[in-house]
Structures are given as C-alpha cells and as structure tokens.
Amino acid sequence: MSRFSVAQVFRCARKTKLVEPDTKLTFIGFGTMNGRDGKPFKTRDGGVMRLENLVQETKDEMYQKIIEGGEMSEEDARSIAGIVAISALKYGDLSNQASKDYIFDIERFTSFEGDTGPYILYTIVRIKSILAKYAEQGGRPQETRIRDAADDSEKTLMLQLAQFQTMLAAASDELAPHKICAFIYELANDFNHFYHETRILAEEDETRKAGLIALLVLTQRVMETCIDLLGFEAPDKM
C-alpha cells in the first residue's frame, strides 16, 4: 500500500468517526497467506477464498475433530467448534511476524497439539476443570496464595509467568502480536509439563495443594488475558 493510500484510509477513518480525532493510527505492513504450494491461498475451484467461507470451513473441520474426540451433544459440539475455529484462525495468523508470508494449513492450524490456538484453549480448559473439581471438594481457588516452588517444573512455570509484563511491553512497543503468541505457547508447554509432573488434587498436604491451586489461578488469568488481547476466548469444556 502506498503512502498516499494509507493517508486516505486514515483520513476516511477520522471523517467517518470510526476513530477519535486524537487517535494515533499506524500502518503495519503484512505478508500474504499462501497455500501449501506457496502461492496465494485459494479455494478448491481456484478462486480467492472469501473470509466467510474460510471461517465456515474451519468450523466444519473443528466440529469433526470434536465429535470424533468424545461424547458431546451436537449443539455443544457446534458451539465449541465455532469458538475453537476462531482461535485457530486468529492464532494461526497472529503467531507469524506480520511482515512475513506464511503457509495456511488448516490441518495444522486446527490441531490440538503444537503451536496452535486449539492447543492453547485445551490447556486453559484443563486448568478450568481442575479448579472446578477443587471447588467441588470445598476449596476456594480465589482465596489461595502461591508458595515457594517445590521442584523444577513448578519453578519453570513461575519464571515464565514472571515474564508476562515484560512481554506485553515489548509486544506493545513493537506492535508485534506474535510475541504474545510465542509467550503463551511457552506458558502452555510449561504448564502441561508441570501438570504431568505434579500431584495437584491428589496432594495430601492441604497447604501445598492450596499453593498449587493458586498457581493455576494465576496461570489461567494470564492465559485468558493473552487470548483476549489476541481476540478470542476459551470455552468451558472441549
């Protein structure tokens, strides 16, 4: 886009009052979304795909995976598929540096494993499930407090959480949402490693259990803040 075209877009935005007069507008160059062949992404019939068709195709892909993954009503599956599909598309796009081209691979973007939106959401839903069970046992997740780390996986998770504010400042200063994606992906990995290494609800020491729950509460809060900034949300179950 030429400098003249950018100025026109900004002027139109102000005249139509889409933005306030004193709002700072910045143009961010971006690459192209390509198919597996490296060429601009198109539909099967050769035309450039419309966004509404891309969203629907992604929803259909997610619906099939959710139905195959376990017992769930069609209504719930459709609803959750819509939420997860949006995460797959937005995360898949924003996780790449804006100025670079990238390959759109619907199979990879909708995977529940790896650096994807569905993987991030699955991790948040796992945390929600643990906290819900703790509450069912009579615990009060929001009244717990974090204690000193007892092992390496717990310490690693804490250290990653401690990078949150620094990451946000860098992402804001550099107008780089891919930094948020990189952070939350590492956080999800660190949490899942901690989860597999740690007895949480089965912990017999109630003081330690409360400390672990507090760490989960903070992890959920940070992850949900990140996905809110990226423009999507997490369902309560998947």
Do 157 and 172 belong together in one domain?
A: yes
Which 8-state DSSP code applies to residue 70? S
Residue 89 domain-assigned (yes or no):
yes
Residue 37 domain-assigned (yes or no):
yes
CATH number, domain with residue 143:
1.10.730.10
Per residue in 123-133, pLDDT (tens digit) is 999 999 999 99
Per residue in 66-81, pLDDT (tens digit) is 988 777 889 999 999 9
**pLDDT at residue 44, rounded to an integer:** 57
Do 114 and 21 belong together in one domain?
A: no
Is the distance from CB of 120 to CB of 227 less than 8 angstroms? yes
Most confident stretch, 8-17, 105-114, 140-149: 140-149
Check whether 45 has a pLDDT greater than 60.
no
Residue 70 domain-assigned (yes or no):
yes
**pLDDT at residue 105, rounded to an integer:** 83
Q: What is the DSSP string of 86-150?
A: HHHHHHHHHTS-TTS-EE--HHHHT-SSSSSHHHHHHHHHHHHHHHHHHHHTT--GGG-------
Per residue in 209-234, pLDDT (tens digit) is 999 999 999 999 999 999 999 999 99
Do 209 and 139 belong together in one domain?
A: yes
Q: How many independent structural domains does the chain possess?
A: 2
Domain residue limits at 10: 1-30
Do 106 and 68 belong together in one domain?
A: yes
Do 41 and 7 belong together in one domain?
A: no
Whole-number mean pLDDT of the chain?
91
Residue 51 domain-assigned (yes or no):
yes
Per residue in 174-204, pLDDT (tens digit) is 999 999 999 999 999 999 999 999 999 999 9
Give 146-149's long-range contacts (Cβ < 8 A, gap of 24+).
Answer: 146/211, 146/214, 146/215, 146/218, 147/207, 147/208, 147/211, 147/214
Do 10 and 50 belong together in one domain?
A: no
Do 26 and 128 belong together in one domain?
A: no
